[in-house]
Amino acid sequence: MTSDLHLSGPTVTLFGDRDVLDEALSEELGRRGCSTHAVTIPTGWFSSVSHAVIRLDTPSGERALEDLASSDHPATHVVAVGETPADPATTARFDELCRQCSDHHDVSVIWHGPFDLGLDAAGAEVVPGELATTIADEIGHQAAWTSAPSYASQTYEPHRHRAQT
């Protein structure tokens, strides 16, 4: 029996805060055979990264995205994730940075609602574990996609909760 841990999936670098979403994402990726590397200090991009989740709503993620957009780095699969900003100018700035990155990288953006406000008017709640599954699915799609750089954006639609009768 060997004590080596050789996981079948890629190492995914998480630029975030190690909050409830980052922890759920690490668990979900671990179940899928991936290892994770968390970056919580805004140090910028690492040229060794091949798969990354950039949390747009964290200082570490924002700095990593800015550095990736402004520097020449090896091609990377990137999933940028963030709570939908209330300010349209902020959304436009992140969108432009992600589009700049997509000139050389495979970039997917997933916008989501807040975690801590309970149910919205439509009866939906953003659950970190469910969002983590969506992010991990996107990483899996990107890992299988080996074509030219690309850009895609989506809004996460949480499962609808039914009122108990």
Q: What is the CATH number of the domain that holds 70?
A: 3.40.50.720
- The predicted structure's pLDDT at residue 113: 85
In a domain, 80, yes or no: yes
The residue-averaged pLDDT of 95-104 equals: 96
- Low-confidence winner among 52-66, 87-101, 113-127, 139-153 (lowest mean pLDDT): 113-127
- The predicted structure's pLDDT at residue 58: 96
Task: Tell whether the model's pLDDT for residue 161 goes beyond 70.
Answer: no
- Low-confidence winner among 8-17, 107-116, 140-149 (lowest mean pLDDT): 140-149
In a domain, 164, yes or no: no
In a domain, 106, yes or no: yes
Task: Give me the number of domains the chain comprises.
Answer: 1
- Low-confidence winner among 23-32, 89-98, 125-134 (lowest mean pLDDT): 125-134
Q: At what angle do helices 59-70 and 88-101 cross, to 10 degrees?
A: 50
Distant-in-sequence, close-in-space partners of 139: CB < 8 Å, separation ≥ 6: 10, 12, 29, 34, 51, 53, 77, 79
The residue-averaged pLDDT of 110-127 equals: 67
In a domain, 92, yes or no: yes
In a domain, 125, yes or no: yes
In a domain, 149, yes or no: yes
In a domain, 104, yes or no: yes
Nearest partner of 140 among 56, 77, 81, judged by Cα? 77
In a domain, 42, yes or no: yes
Q: Give residue 16's domain range.
A: 11-155
